Amino acid sequence: GAVVSQHPSWVICKSGTSVKIECRSLDFQATTMFWYRQFPKQSLMLMATSNEGSKATYEQGVEKDKFLINHASLTLSTLTVTSAHPEDSSFYICSASREGANNEQFFGPGTRLTVL
C-alpha cells in the first residue's frame, strides 16, 4: 500500500529556533499534500495545502510566515515552524493521496514538536 513517512518523529527545541518537518510519499507521487496540527485531546486541524511547484494554500488563521511550506518534489513536502514558541508545541501530521487509491488519504505517522 501507499506509505507516507515523516521525519523527525519527534523534536524538542528551544524557543526562538526554527524546526523543519519532512513529509515523504515513499512509493507514490503526490502533487498535493496536506498539513494538519493536533493538540492533545483534540481533533486534527487542517493548516495548509502543499502544492508541488507552487505556493501553499493556508487555512484561515494560519500564519504563512510562521509555518513555511515547501513542496520541493512530487514526493516531498516540508513544513518549517519558524521562531517556534511553546504554544507551537503540537502533533503535526501530513497526508497525501495516491491517484486510483479509492480516494483514500494516506497519513504520515506524525511529528511531535515540543518547544521549551
Partner 1 sequence: LAKTTQPISMDSYEGQEVNITCSHNNIATNDYITWYQQFPSQGPRFIIQGYKTKVTNEVASLFIPADRKSSTLSLPRVSLSDTAVYYCLVGDVTTDSWGKLQFGAGTQVVVTP
Of 3, 13, 32, 82, the residue at the interface with partner 1 (CB under 8 A) is: 32
Q: CA 88 to CA 78: how far, in whole Å?
A: 16
DSSP assignment, residue 86? Answer: G
Q: Which is nearer to partner 1, 83 or 104 (CB)?
A: 104
Residue range at the interface with partner 1 (CB under 8 A); choices 12-20, 45-53, 65-73, 80-88: 45-53
Q: Which is nearer to partner 1, 75 or 95 (CB)?
A: 95
Please list every residue from 84 through 113 that binds partner 1, using CB under 8 A. 91, 93-97, 102-110, 112
Q: CA 48 to CA 65: how far, in whole Å?
A: 12
Q: Which is nearer to partner 1, 10 or 18 (CB)?
A: 10
Best CA proximity match to 21, nearest among 93, 72, 86, 88: 93
Extract the C-alpha cell encoding 14.
528551544
Please list every residue from 2 through 21 that binds partner 1, using CB under 8 A. 4, 6
- Collapse the DSSP code of 103 into the 3-class scheme (helix H, G, I; strand E, B; otherwise coil) and give the result: coil
Phi, psi of 87 (to 5 degrees): -70, -10
Binding site for partner 1 (CB under 8 A): 4, 6, 32-34, 36, 43-46, 49, 91, 93-97, 102-110, 112
